[in-house]
Amino acid sequence: MSLQKPSIPKGTRDFSPLEMVRRNYIFDTIRSVFQLFGYQPIETPAMENLSTLLGKYGEEGDKLLFKILNSGNFLERRNDEQRSTKDPESKTENPASSIQHPASDPGQLDYKALLPFISEKGLRYDLTVPFARYVVQHQNEITFPFKRYQIQPVWRADRPQKGRYREFFQCDVDVIGSDSLLNEVELLQVVDKVFTLLGLSYIVKLNNRKILSGIAEVIGEPGRLIDLTVSLDKMEKTGMAPVLEELRQKGFTPASVDALIPFLDFASEKDFPVCLPFLKEKLQSSATGREGIGEIEKIVAYLNELPLSGRVELDISLARGLNYYTGCIIEVKAADVQMGSICGGGRYDDLTGIFGLKGVSGVGISFGADRIYDVMNELNLFPGMIEATTKVLFVNFGMAEEKYCLPILARLRESGIPAEIFPDAAKMKKQLDYANRKKIPFVVLVGENEMKEGRMTLKNMHTGEQELVTLELLIEKLVN
């Protein structure tokens, strides 16, 4: 076997022990807040049927789905033009036999047409669509409104770049089976609690898909909400001019594009007292638009009674391009770092209807753990204490000392103190270097004299101070 250079796919990462400790700090913080607000955990498979995933994220999202090949040697036979319509052994219809060869290259099969035969499953793109599928499948076991949280990886065939990965974790929290806007308010409280605990300053951007529907109506393109939102979703990255050009290429009339410009010009205004009167005037002819404005007003009225630490803004260009959103949409950004959204979500009125359960409204948000990690790392926000996975290291002086220390280590672990002994009777410098590299705050030395006295020498690795202690005193000091 030839030597192979080790590598991993682009857009994926290995995580060192230090990175994992920090990531788990984020996960544990988010999980604790979810539980504080009464949400229950579930998990769904890494792969879903393609029929579950396709068509839920829009055309752009469908292109980013990782598809899983069916098992078997189908691809090995892909260029076999001599294959017969029927298998001579079993007389079974060969599904590939009915697929036409593209006229431009008769030696190749039309793989788009072959997709249903090649792939029936895909890696999940997000956690919301699998959650909707879960709700329909398990509806008789669920108490509605169902408040669930889910912390799992998702996969997207995206172009890797800063803050954007092909494999990443989402931390989702949703309420399904309730139309109440109190749910949106509670989710914003969850956002505030999580980022307050993590020490992150944040900005919340709010909008409503009904407001965007109203804008589509008043500019004369009432049936083209999805086309509008997909283009608007790129505005922050590209600016207004490319968005308008994209809409023209999609067939929006010159008059409708011109009518949209005042809305986009106003998008830089973020204060509710200024934005809402503007929208009321512009969307007075749209019942849907007026409904969206009313929902934003109710949410803001609730938020005015709450002591949130972050800033909340109205952003009428916020679209969140996923097709299933129908009401309030939310996006959260870090205030002190240039990064994409670190949390986002919104209301979806009938996502479960696709799977046969009509009229069940839900709302949820998703925390992007990987981007939160990048922001916290850049701002140096991780507490130093979390980096030490071991609280105390016992120095190894030899077999007699090992036998003496093992019962003591067992007592410490029973008391909930992470403890370990160096596995070899190596030089003292090597063992202390090991403790320093692992950021272990305390070292215990037990030599011949300590064993005779029934005591131990406890060394503080930060201050260098040493003291003789009994087992009971050692436990007391390490627990505190």
- Give me the CATH number covering residue 190: 3.30.930.10
Q: Are 372 and 184 in contact (CB under 8 A)?
A: no
* Strands 311-314 and 202-208, sheet pairing: parallel
- Domain annotation covers residue 2: no
- Domain end point (choices 273, 306, 335): 335
Q: Are residues 298 and 351 in the same domain?
A: no
pLDDT for 76 equals 61
Q: Are residues 187 and 215 in the same domain?
A: no
Q: Are residues 326 and 248 in the same domain?
A: yes
pLDDT for 86 equals 46
Q: Are residues 364 and 462 in the same domain?
A: no
Q: Are residues 413 and 364 in the same domain?
A: no
* Strands 392-394 and 419-421, sheet pairing: parallel
Query: Helix/strand/coil (H, E, C) string of the chain?
Result: CCCCCCCCCCCCCCCCHHHHHHHHHHHHHHHHHHHHCCCEECCCCCEEEHHHHCCCCHHHHHHCCCEEECCCCHHHHCCCCCCCCECCCCCCECHHHHCCCCCCCCCCCCHHHHHHHHEEEEECCCCHHHHHHHHHHCHHHCCCCEEEEEEEEEECCCCCECCECCEEEEEEEEEECCCCCHHHHHHHHHHHHHHHHHCCCEEEEEEEHHHHHHHHHHCCCCCCHHHHHHHHCCHHHHCHHHHHHHHHHCCCCHHHHHHHHHHHHHHHCCCHHHHHHHHHHHCCCCHHHHHHHHHHHHHHHHHCCCCCCCEEEECCCCCCCCCCCCCEEEEEEECCCCCCCCEEEEEECCHHHHHCCCCCCEEEEEEEHHHHHHHHHHCCCCCHHHHCCCCEEECCCCHHHHHHHHHHHHHHHHCCCCEEECCCCCCHHHHHHHHHHCCCCEEEECCHHHHHHCCEEEEECCCCCEEEECHHHHHHHHHC
pLDDT tens string for the chain (480 positions)?
Answer: 688 899 999 999 999 999 999 999 999 999 999 999 999 999 999 999 999 999 888 778 889 999 998 876 655 655 554 444 444 444 444 444 444 544 455 555 565 666 666 888 999 999 999 999 999 999 999 999 999 999 999 999 988 877 688 999 999 999 999 999 999 999 999 999 999 999 999 999 999 999 999 999 999 999 898 889 888 888 878 888 999 999 999 999 999 999 999 998 887 788 899 899 999 999 999 999 999 999 999 999 999 999 999 999 999 889 886 778 899 999 999 998 988 899 999 999 988 988 999 989 999 999 999 999 999 999 999 998 787 789 999 999 999 999 999 999 999 999 999 999 999 999 999 999 999 999 999 999 999 999 999 999 999 999 999 999 999 999 999 997
- Domain end point (choices 386, 420, 451): 386
- Domain annotation covers residue 90: no
- Domain annotation covers residue 92: no
- Domain annotation covers residue 88: no
Residues in the chain: 480
Q: How many domains does the chain have?
A: 3
Q: Are residues 16 and 136 in the same domain?
A: yes
Q: Are residues 190 and 215 in the same domain?
A: no
- Domain annotation covers residue 447: yes
- Domain annotation covers residue 86: no
pLDDT for 71 equals 75
Phi, psi of 264 (to 5 degrees): -70, -35
Supply the Cα-derived Rg of the chain in whole angstroms.
29
Amino acid at 446: V
- Domain annotation covers residue 99: no
Q: Are residues 47 and 191 in the same domain?
A: yes
CATH number at residue 428: 3.40.50.800
**Cα 416 from Cα 390, distance rounded (Å):** 11
pLDDT for 312 equals 95
Nearest to 121 by CA among 77, 163, 170, 155: 155
Q: Are residues 206 and 159 in the same domain?
A: no
Q: Are 192 and 369 in contact (CB under 8 A)?
A: no
Its domain, for residue 231, covers 202-335
* Strands 146-155 and 343-348, sheet pairing: unpaired
Single pTM value for the model: 0.84
Q: Are residues 414 and 320 in the same domain?
A: no
Q: Are residues 19 and 163 in the same domain?
A: yes
pLDDT for 72 equals 61
**Cα 152 from Cα 66, distance rounded (Å):** 16
Q: Are residues 119 and 145 in the same domain?
A: yes
The first and second tokens of residue 207, run together, are 């909008």
- Domain annotation covers residue 120: yes
